[in-house]
Structure 1
Amino acid sequence: MTQDVIVRACRRPGVLSMQFQPIIDTARGTVVGYESLARFSGPPHTTPDRWFAVARAAGVGPELEARALRAALDARSALPPNCFLSINIGPDALLTAAVATVFADAGDLRGIVVEITEQTAVANYDALAAAIEPLRAAGALLAVDDAGAGFASLKHITVLRPDFVKVDRDLVAGIDKDETKAAVVEALGMFTSRLDAWLVAEGIETTAELDRILSLRVPLAQGYGIGSPQPMMGKAHSDAVALCRRRRSIAAYGGLFDLAEHAPHVSEIEAAPTSFARNPATAWVVVVDEHDRPVRLVDRRGGAHPPLNVLPTERLADVARRIATRPTDERHVPAVLCDERARLVGLVTVERVLGRLADTIDSGSSPT
């Protein structure tokens, strides 16, 4: 494709439109904001990031970003009450007159979050800070995208002092099965809280990923598993909202319960294979009786295991001892967390029990 073709494509009327993805408050399960995302109608038929990349290569990147920015700001009138609108802009484009003019024309920027995208390295932080200053003066907040990857380094965060830090999708993907990723996200949460900023987990696609993010107490989240981008500013998926609210009620028990993982359950062991087929990422299915009390755990190979049921009143040290005294071939089986009536709440892996035990020892507190 020649440069002239690229330039004409970027300037073509109707080629650009905006969609909006919900961002939820994980503690309440309510939508508190939206990220505006550019969408393009080809030709060329390619992804939005590729459109912006070829526009930059052709020398019209700032012009295209300014168009997308104006389209996003024009959508403010549709923003629901008490919600913010996050708008993506590249660090280079933010330094251009075209983008500065769009922001100046917008006037009051309260309710707008300017999200610095991870496209190019920042060559001059002083210039970038100077460009951000009038936006903050007009009421805008600042977000740094893709923390933990590429150019979004800790220096990027500490120099810009954003109000929001968005976790890179690569750290979220499969976080329910990777304790190293969970540890990094947890560390980012501590880091951002010291900066008086909000951590946002983006790119959440599965219930298990959302459940692990909730257990880490990440305050804000978005992704296709929560709500896909739409032309209208709509609601989050009902199952994601329900999981957030359920997790909040579980965490009220304290102790290990804030680590509880979602556990699919069936009333008959013969139904376990169907549950596994519906949920390819599921490692365990719980068999419950007519009162929702766990009676068996089933693994993906069909093995049935007696549950180690944990009630809210049990001390952490006692749970660890019970795990240690199980038969050797059963020690890898998750503990089953139950409410005060012994009804299923969720599962907690042995690794997470040990991690919590280590945390209490490091802090010098009693392992309750």
Structure 2
Amino acid sequence: MWSNWAKGLRRRFSIFSLDGRSTVTSLIGQEVRGGATVVLFYADIVRMTEIENRYGDMIAKRVLHIFERILPGVCRDVLEIKGRVLAIQRMWGDDFAIYVSFPRGTYEEECRLLSISFQEQTEMQLNRQVSFVNREDLHVHIGYSIFPGQDVVKEMYTSVKHAVHMAKYGITSEKYTYVTQYHRLLQQEEIHMHFMPIVDLRDGNPLGWEALARGPENTPFFSPSMLFEYAEETDTVFRLEHICRKRALEYLRYLRPEQKLFINLDPRAIDDPYLLRGELLKVLEQTGLNPHNVVLEITERHAITNYTVFRKIIEEYRKKGYLVAVDDAGAGYSSLESITEIYPDFIKLDMSLIRNIDVDPIKQALLETFVQFAEKVKCKIIAEGIETERELETLMELGVSFGQGYYLGRPAKGLTQIPGKAMNFLRGIQEKIMKTNRDPFLFAPGITDVLTKTICVEKQAKVREVHQIFEQNKRIESVIVLEAGKPIGLVMRFQLYQVLGGQYGIALYYERPVWQIMNTNPLTAKKDDLIDEVAKRAMARDSYHLYDVVIITGDEGEYLGIITVQSLLDKMASIKLEMATLANPLTGLPGNIQIERELHARIKRREQQVVIYCDLDRFKWFNDQYGFEVGDQIIVRTAKLLHEAVQRYGNPSDFLGHIGGDDFIVITTPECANAMTTFIIHVFSSYFIDIYQKRNISDGAALSMSMAGVMLVNGRFSGVEDLAQQAACLKGVAKNMPGTVFVSDRIEEQTELAEGMAPGM
């Protein structure tokens, strides 16, 4: 009976097993070349395995046999009204593929309606013929996929996957509609790119832009989360990312040579021929750029399962010249492992680490560690998700060089610049940081070295709101009360809980303004105050307020941040230890380590400065002739002379250091350099007159000083060694001149000032 049915079926339709795929491909190819549209309809029985487990193998086979017998008739009654069935192919188990040719073409809605009709007819006949007892109605999955007709062999596989995904959700469901839309936009490559600026926090210029995928506007797939959610569900991540990269790289022609395009690269889709096989290299060559303008962001959405293979592919990219970034560091599956395995050029810190960093000391400490780590391994940090001015300011103070977030620029269709408001704020903070980081010449750190942030509220805020802040932020111990941006009060956690913990505390105060219970006279300090002075004032408070935070204000009394008594004491202890360790034991001035740090910092600055190297002449003769005691006396007096010169004619930001022996260094501005050196030249001999008189030293044997002034301008020196070489040349010139002299390499004037007075005059 079965053989007669099968023979009859073959006369009507072509039925193939998996082995007959090449014949199906040939049939589809002929129809497409003839101008027809070919659609694959997929059908299977819902929960067929459950039927087998519940009723046994014989019943399951019978259901499948009935299903096979029904399909040709339903195909004839439903599908051949519009088209011609080319083949019914049993793929595996109860899964069938039906290939239909539509000579006049078809469209999505027509296919959907045919699928619904096909499903209804199949289920009706199946349930009418299956008669075993105690069962619910059987249901059929149905899905479809239209062949694009460009590469039939490849489309045989992708079409089946597409149809299976659609069938899983149900033909009339909203999910089914979305899957259909998603596959259509993927097929037509309806992907558009938006670009988010990545900003150099030192000057506000874009380091580059991150390319972000968007689907068609006014559809659910405009959201990238929706887009990639369906890519995951339909197993088309590689296909989607490939389209995204092609779209993003079309914008390369708008980049300047120093700018970069950041494109996302899922670890599962890393071996992309478009990037590795030369096509992109041709595009770069046409635009006058190179692979260094492209940064591949390794996303952390999925773990890297095989680092050995992954690393080999990354090395291929590096050999081509591409740069590599680890994205979402600190929030992914294995971001730290990725960093150690990949050796990225950029580390992008996840927004979860950046959110509220201005009031979270734990996050600040963690970020500081990242910054130090990045400096050691020659990598750059990019902070993602910057949304507020306070977050940006804190990041800049912690030394983060690059940032990205809505405050610095939202995703847009073109390569946009940073907004004007953010640019102005960034410049102001940069100037503030540069002033704060300039150590006074005797290394007396300012209060801003230990500045942190906490949450602020306005004076009319309810006590209830402040209580909720403490409950939601367990690391916060204080809340500052502001009025017009200036601090007028302080609420400490333990003090608030004491108030509310009283018998009627909540009833009396919970809904009142916070100004009624705040400390109205908290200890405040100016940002330029010295740590030791503030510490003395803090420890002089009464015992109840002894451990209250100290509020730091700016020049206009505006709120800047807070410091805790513990941080004050810790900082003082570390300063004393560092000064004792690094300072010259004879003069107390900063020694070589601090001098080198300062020179490195000054070289990076973009303002004109003068480094004056000071070297005593004939010091060795004095030391040998009169002993180390006189030699030490001369060194101490020289330090005092330079100290007086800097105090009288210099700036608060000037630096004075003792290189060692009879060599000193002064860093100042060009405007102050001549006044300082003129003063030193005219008073130099008077500092040593008693030494001369006691030992009857003549003018010809007197001490003198050779001073060499090296100009620091932006980009002139790559490091301290280059600067030292220039200074050595100038000192050689000064040494060949009589008396105390100053020789400068300033282009606009070569200053040579010589002492014209006899000792003691």
TM-score surpassing 0.5?
Answer: yes
* Structure 2 equivalent of residue 71 of structure 1: 247
Deviation at 1:304, TM superposition (A): 7.0
AA aligned to 1:24 is V
Q: Does 1:223 align with 2:427?
A: no
* Structure 2 equivalent of residue 338 of structure 1: 554
* Structure 1 equivalent of residue 534 of structure 2: 319
* Structure 1 equivalent of residue 495 of structure 2: none
AA aligned to 2:553 is L
Structure 2 residues without counterparts, runs of 5 or longer: 1-164, 168-178, 285-289, 438-445, 462-468, 470-478, 492-512, 581-761
CA distance, structure 1, for counterparts of residue 541 and residue 425 of structure 2: 31
Q: 1:285 aligns with which of 464, 468, 482?
A: 482
* Structure 2 equivalent of residue 148 of structure 1: 330
* Structure 1 equivalent of residue 341 of structure 2: 159
* Structure 2 equivalent of residue 52 of structure 1: 228
Indicate conservation of the 8 Å contact 1:83/1:111, yes or no: yes
Q: Deviations over 1:162-186 (max 9, x none)?
A: 0110111111112122111111111
* Structure 2 equivalent of residue 358 of structure 1: 570
Question: Helix, strand or coil: the match of 1:229?
Answer: coil
Q: Does 1:90 align with 2:266?
A: yes
Q: Deviations over 1:209-262 (max 9, x none)?
A: 222212212111110121101111112122322222222222213333366679
* Structure 2 equivalent of residue 349 of structure 1: 562
CA distance, structure 2, for counterparts of residue 238 and residue 365 of structure 1: 42
User: Higher mean Cα deviation, 42-51 or 138-147?
Assistant: 42-51
Deviation at 1:152, TM superposition (A): 3.9
User: Higher mean Cα deviation, 86-95 or 256-265?
Assistant: 256-265
Count how many residue pairs are aligned between Structure 1 and Structure 2.
Answer: 347
AA aligned to 1:250 is K
Deviation at 1:358, TM superposition (A): 2.7
Indicate conservation of the 8 Å contact 2:331/2:350, yes or no: yes
Question: Helix, strand or coil: the match of 1:75?
Answer: helix
Question: Helix, strand or coil: the match of 1:92?
Answer: helix
- Change in Cα spacing, 1:178 to 1:200, as seen in structure 2 (3 Å) is same
AA aligned to 1:141 is L
Deviation at 1:317, TM superposition (A): 2.6
Deviation at 1:85, TM superposition (A): 1.5
- Structure-to-structure mapping, 1:109-258, within 5 angstroms: 109-251=291-433, 252-254=435-437, 255-257=446-448
Deviation at 1:95, TM superposition (A): 2.2
* Structure 2 equivalent of residue 25 of structure 1: 200
Deviation at 1:144, TM superposition (A): 0.3
CA distance, structure 2, for counterparts of residue 81 and residue 38 of structure 1: 24
Deviation at 1:365, TM superposition (A): 2.2
* Structure 2 equivalent of residue 277 of structure 1: none
CA distance, structure 1, for counterparts of residue 306 and residue 432 of structure 2: 47
User: Higher mean Cα deviation, 192-201 or 54-63?
Assistant: 54-63
- Change in Cα spacing, 1:362 to 1:104, as seen in structure 2 (3 Å) is same
CA distance, structure 2, for counterparts of residue 187 and residue 247 of structure 1: 22
Q: Deviations over 1:149-202 (max 9, x none)?
A: 122432210110001101111111121221111111111111222211011110
- Change in Cα spacing, 1:160 to 1:361, as seen in structure 2 (3 Å) is farther
- Change in Cα spacing, 1:182 to 1:9, as seen in structure 2 (3 Å) is farther
Q: 2:213 aligns with which of 38, 46, 49?
A: 38
- Change in Cα spacing, 1:123 to 1:307, as seen in structure 2 (3 Å) is same
Deviation at 1:329, TM superposition (A): 4.6
Deviation at 1:360, TM superposition (A): 5.8
Indicate conservation of the 8 Å contact 1:146/1:167, yes or no: yes
RMSD: 3.4
Deviation at 1:106, TM superposition (A): 4.1
Indicate conservation of the 8 Å contact 1:148/1:171, yes or no: yes
CA distance, structure 2, for counterparts of residue 129 and residue 295 of structure 1: 53
User: Higher mean Cα deviation, 354-363 or 131-140?
Assistant: 354-363
CA distance, structure 2, for counterparts of residue 124 and residue 334 of structure 1: 51
CA distance, structure 1, for counterparts of residue 557 and residue 261 of structure 2: 39
* Structure 2 equivalent of residue 268 of structure 1: none
CA distance, structure 1, for counterparts of residue 419 and residue 561 of structure 2: 25
Question: Helix, strand or coil: the match of 2:292?
Answer: coil
- Structure-to-structure mapping, 1:96-115, within 5 angstroms: 96-97=272-273, 100-101=276-277, 103=280, 106-107=283-284, 108-115=290-297
CA distance, structure 2, for counterparts of residue 362 and residue 260 of structure 1: 15
* Structure 1 equivalent of residue 183 of structure 2: 8
- Change in Cα spacing, 1:313 to 1:53, as seen in structure 2 (3 Å) is closer
AA aligned to 2:514 is R
Question: Helix, strand or coil: the match of 1:166?
Answer: strand
Deviation at 1:330, TM superposition (A): 8.3
- Change in Cα spacing, 1:10 to 1:62, as seen in structure 2 (3 Å) is farther
CA distance, structure 2, for counterparts of residue 357 and residue 28 of structure 1: 35
Deviation at 1:90, TM superposition (A): 0.7
Deviation at 1:83, TM superposition (A): 2.1
CA distance, structure 1, for counterparts of residue 365 and residue 455 of structure 2: 25
**Higher RCO (C-alpha under 8 Å, 6+ residues apart):** 1
- Change in Cα spacing, 1:45 to 1:84, as seen in structure 2 (3 Å) is closer
CA distance, structure 2, for counterparts of residue 83 and residue 145 of structure 1: 19
CA distance, structure 2, for counterparts of residue 263 and residue 151 of structure 1: 31
Question: Helix, strand or coil: the match of 1:230?
Answer: coil
* Structure 2 equivalent of residue 301 of structure 1: 514
Structure 1 residues without counterparts, runs of 5 or longer: 266-270, 275-280, 289-293
Deviation at 1:44, TM superposition (A): 4.3
Deviation at 1:357, TM superposition (A): 4.8
When normalised by structure 2's length, the TM-score is 0.41
- Change in Cα spacing, 1:263 to 1:234, as seen in structure 2 (3 Å) is farther
Indicate conservation of the 8 Å contact 2:347/2:380, yes or no: yes
- Change in Cα spacing, 1:330 to 1:287, as seen in structure 2 (3 Å) is farther
CA distance, structure 2, for counterparts of residue 26 and residue 64 of structure 1: 33
- Change in Cα spacing, 1:77 to 1:262, as seen in structure 2 (3 Å) is farther
CA distance, structure 2, for counterparts of residue 249 and residue 345 of structure 1: 17
What is the percentage of aligned positions where both structures have the same residue? 27
Q: Deviations over 1:253-272 (max 9, x none)?
A: 3333366679999xxxxx96
